[in-house]
Each structure stands twice: as C-alpha cells, then as structure tokens.
Structure 1
Amino acid sequence: MPFVALGGLLVIVCVLAYAYGAAQLGDRVQVLAVARPVTAGQPITAADLKQVSAAHDPGVRLVPASQAVKVVGRTAVVPLVAGTLLTPELLGDAAFPPGGQVTASLALKPGQYPQGLAAGARVSVYVSTTARDGGQSAPAASSAAAPARMSAVVLRVDLAGDGEGSTVVTLLLAASDAPQLAAAPSGGVVLMQTSPERD
C-alpha cells in the first residue's frame, strides 16, 4: 500500500508539473532577434533577423515576428550583437543618424574614458569649461561650476587612435548637445559608463 500511495503521488506531481509547463509555454510569443552582428547605422536585412520564442512581458516592447517586413531596411540605432531581442528603441529610420541626433568623434587620453569601453555602451559625457592643463576655455552662455552632463551611446572605439597616444571614441548624442561638446577644451571631456536603461 505505501508503494501504491507513493506512485499515485508521483502521478499527481507529474500532472501538475506538465500543466504548469504547458501554461508557461503557452504564454510565449514569436519575436524578432538579431541573427548576426549589426553595426550602428547599418541597414537591417532579412539575413540579419531570426525568429525566436520569448516569454510575454507587458513591460518589454519586443518586435513581433510578423513585422519582419517593416523592420528590413531600417537602421540600427546602436551596435547590435547576435541574439539581441529587437525593441522599437533599437530601430531608426533609413537615414542615419536618426533625426535630432548626431555623431561625434573624440580623441581621449587614458583616464578620460573607462577601461574596456566598447561599442553599444551607454555613457554619461561630462564636459568641463576648464582644460586639464589649467587653461580656461571661453566662458559659455550658461557656464556653471559643475561640468555639464549629457548622455550618449558609443558607436565605435578605435584603440589605434590618432597616432598621438589618444583613443578615438565615436558617440551618438542629441544634436542639441553637440555645440557644447564641440566647444570643450583639450582634456575637458570625461566619459563614464552607465547601466543600460529600460524604457
């Protein structure tokens, strides 16, 4: 009798486990993911996409697999690695950079950017009106004691640099921030990597 009771209990457990698993699998949707690396600004082709099954989460806006035709031809706003689940925020218009944004390349010395910085990273860009050598830049219309802060996405990191010991980092940032960044004195820009934002 104990073995019969134990067998019955195992059957019940297996049935419940199967029901739970079926319910979980039933709450999944077919969405689009990146099949191979895509650089920022590169038009997305059908070969760059693949369909995957993902858990349905109302808080995450994934791109349904049925919209693949609408995605082809659009550009990647940031560098995309294989396996990335696509969201509307990662897709730009056919033109690059997207409207209201610009690209900028900076020659930075060690200490002005974090080690291991790579394409796709989100960074805070701190722009000072005082150069590192102690020289003052021309005062800006809205100068302040604290460095100005702006947000950007790293598009490229060229370790070969400019041939003078600097690493060239290319950023995607708001067009409204470009004039202030361009007016920064030598050594007056520092990058700090930030955590990915969830929209």
Structure 2
Amino acid sequence: MKVQERTGAGNHKSSGPAQHVGERLPMSARERKPALAALAVLLILVGALGATVLVLRAGERIEVVRISADVPAGKAVTDDSMKPVMVADDPGVNYVRWEQRNALKKLQAKNTLVAGTIAIGQMFSDKAGLPDGKAFVGIALKEGQYPAGIKVGDRVSAYRVGADADKSGGSNANALIVQDAKVNDIVKGDDSTIGSGTLPVTIMVGSSDVAALTQAAAAGQVALVLVPSTTS
C-alpha cells in the first residue's frame, strides 16, 4: 500500500520578517522657554496696571470755584457770585479750589467773568487794572435809554439824546458820543435805586471819550444801543 505523504505546504506561513508600514520617527520633546513666557506675563500685568492707574486718575475729582453770577472787571468775587463744582483734577490747570474761596474774595477780576465760568488763578489780580487808554464811566439810565436785557460784557454805542443832541447842524450823526464801549457793571435792585427809576451802568470807554460822555451823563442825556460784539 502506497503511503500518501501529505505535504504541509499549504499549512506553513512565510517565516520572513514582518514589514512595518508607515512607521513614525521618534520626536524630541518641544523645547520650552520659561523666560519668554514670564516676560509675556509681566508685560500683560504692566499693561493692566497702567490702564487701571489711568482710570483711577480720571476718576479723581476736586471741588473748585465756579462763577455763578457775572463779575465785572476790577470787581471781587463775593459769596453770592460763586458756587462749588466738582471737576477732574488736572495738574496743568490752575484751578481755584473751593477751600481757597476766602482768599479769592480779596482779589479782583482782570476781565469781566461770565456766569458759569470755572475760576482759574490767572483770571485774578491783587489790584484792578485797565487796558492802556481806557477808563470806566458810570451813568444812570432811565427806561428807554438802554436796551432790554442789557448785561455785563455787552458791546454798546453811546448817544447823546435830548434838546442839545441836534444843536450842531441838526444831524443825528453828531449825537454819537462813543462808537464802541463795553458794559462793565450793572447795579440791579440796589437800595439807592429803588423808586428812582434809573439803572446805574458802568461802561469802559476810550480815555478820549470820557469828557463828552461824563458831560452828557451828568445831564441825563445818554442812551445806549447794543452793537455786534467784536472778536479779537
């Protein structure tokens, strides 16, 4: 009997070395730079601190003097013409602080101060001063001799009115006394004017106009007319 040998050719697998497909090369650990990271954090903190300081500085407010009523040039501020107000502190601005108000009352305004103005040190002096060639003249005006609503700081012309106004040739142009004057002070509600029907007004004029204006004012023959304000 022929013994049939079975071959195990189909039962044996290849013994060759296994192949590795797509094998990755080992990677080195990422190099860290702790100094740069610390510097970045430091810069962030410094920036945040600077922003915080700016916000806090903007929030620093101080109490200063605000002019609450018109103050004529050469006059002092009174308790009735100033009020406290809070403003942001600014080292570059010479504010008059509220606690300095008593010292402020001893000074005089260099120019007319309008209500609502924040008081600054440069606005005041220890003595009154007038621009060169200027003078103050006081006149008492009756109703009809001044425009309604006249106020400190207005620019006005002064005319001579009455029987003597047209003596020189009958021309109304000759009645003009002052072409351009500035209202420096108005006294309203003073005890001396109650029942008199007059309004005391002080105007600033050129020195050359003082004689004619004073003469007409003494005779009660001055009328004021508003003129457009001039800009410097």
TM-score (norm 2): 0.45
Contact 1:78/1:90, CA 8 A, preserved across alignment: no
2:163 aligned counterpart, secondary structure: coil
Alpha-carbon spacing, 1:29–1:99, altered in 2? closer, same or farther (3 Å): farther
1:53 positional shift: 0.8
Q: Does 1:52 align with 2:86?
A: yes
Q: Which runs of 5+ in 2 are unaligned?
A: 1-50
Q: Relative to 1, partners in 2 of residues 1:26 and 1:105: Cα closer, same or farther, differing over 3 Å?
A: same
Residue 43 of structure 1, CA deviation: 6.0
Q: Does 1:151 align with 2:151?
A: no
Find the aligned partners of 1:137 and 1:62 in 2 and give their Cα distance. Answer: 56
Q: Which residue of 1 is the match for residue 19 of structure 2?
A: none
Mapped pair 1:99 → 2:133: no
Deviation of residue 174 (structure 1)? Answer: 4.4
Cα distance in 2 for residues equivalent to 1:27 and 1:179: 56
Shift of 1:107: 1.8
Matched, 1:127 2:161: no
Deviation (angstroms), 1:85: 0.9
Residue pair 1:158, 1:169 contacting (<8 A) in 2 also: no
- Asked if 2 retains the 8 angstrom alpha-carbon contact of 1:31 and 1:63, the reply is no
Q: Highest CA radius of gyration, 1 or 2?
A: 2
The structure whose RCO (Cα within 8 Å, separation 6+) is larger is 1
Q: Please, which runs of 5 or more residues in structure 1 have no aligned partner?
A: 1-18
1:170 is aligned to 201
- Cα drift, residue 122 of structure 1: 1.6
Structure 2 CA distance for aligned equivalents of residues 117 and 110 of structure 1: 12
Distance 2:231 2:62 in 1: 21
Q: Percent identity?
A: 15
- Aligned residues between the structures: 160
- Which amino acid counterpart does residue 156 of structure 2 have in structure 1? V
Deviation string, structure 1 residues 2-39 (Cα, Å, up to 9, x no partner) = xxxxxxxxxxxxxxxxx9xx87x839975842377686
Q: CA RMSD in A?
A: 5.0
